[in-house]
Amino acid sequence: MLQETVTLINRTSKPVRAMFDGQRFVFKPGPNPGVPIVVVQYAKDQNPVMGTQDRYEYEGSQYLVGVPEWGDDCSPIEQSDAIERLDRTTIEDEGKTAVPGPKVRVRRSEAINRLPDDGQAAASR
């Protein structure tokens, strides 16, 4: 059975990557003809424009790739400097100003051995 294909537009000036079913795909800047339809949503989900996703509206997200035949925005764009997918301006109260926690390196003994299940033992470390 032949797969249906579309032309996927990489909106950026750099190659973008996607993985589907263990296969790696690299999309050069501009039009990329012959992309299987089943790969497109994976390519979109793996290449969002960071900082554009509304916490309630998944469809409102922006992507670095698009398919013109489907009405996607295919105008040129570059990746933002945001560190997460969410658009913090759509979040109310304390969530709007939340910042990432400190990066804590996992010790080798914690990765190899199970941590104690008992809270007291864990607190005593």
Task: Give the model's pLDDT for residue 104.
Answer: 76
Q: What is the pLDDT of residues 46-96, one digit of tens each?
A: 999 988 887 777 676 889 999 999 999 999 999 988 887 877 777 777 777
Task: Give the model's pLDDT for residue 37.
Answer: 94
Q: Work out the mean pLDDT of the chain and round it to a whole number.
A: 83
Among 11-15, 47-51, 117-121, the minimum mean pLDDT is found in 117-121
42, 77 Cβ separation under 8 angstroms: no
DSSP string, 5-28: EEEEEE-SSS-EEEEETTEEEEE-
| Residue 1 confidence class, pLDDT cut points 50, 70, 90 | low
DSSP state of 78: -
Domain spans of the chain, in order of start:
5-97
User: How large is the greatest C-alpha to C-alpha distance in the chain, in angstroms?
Assistant: 61
Angle at 31 between CA 13 and CA 21, to 5 degrees: 95
pLDDT (average), residues 5-13: 95
Nearest to 70 by CA among 6, 12, 1, 122: 6
Which has the higher per-residue pLDDT, 11 or 83?
11
- Residue 97 pLDDT > 90: no
Task: Give the model's pLDDT for residue 115.
Answer: 53
24, 42 Cβ separation under 8 angstroms: no
CB atoms inside a 10 Å sphere around CB 41:
13
Nearest to 36 by CA among 63, 12, 58, 18: 18
Listed in sequence order, the DSSP H helices in the chain are 37-45, 108-112, 119-123
Task: Give the model's pLDDT for residue 31.
Answer: 95
Paired tokens of 76: 């040129």
Alpha-carbon span 107 to 10, nearest angstrom = 40
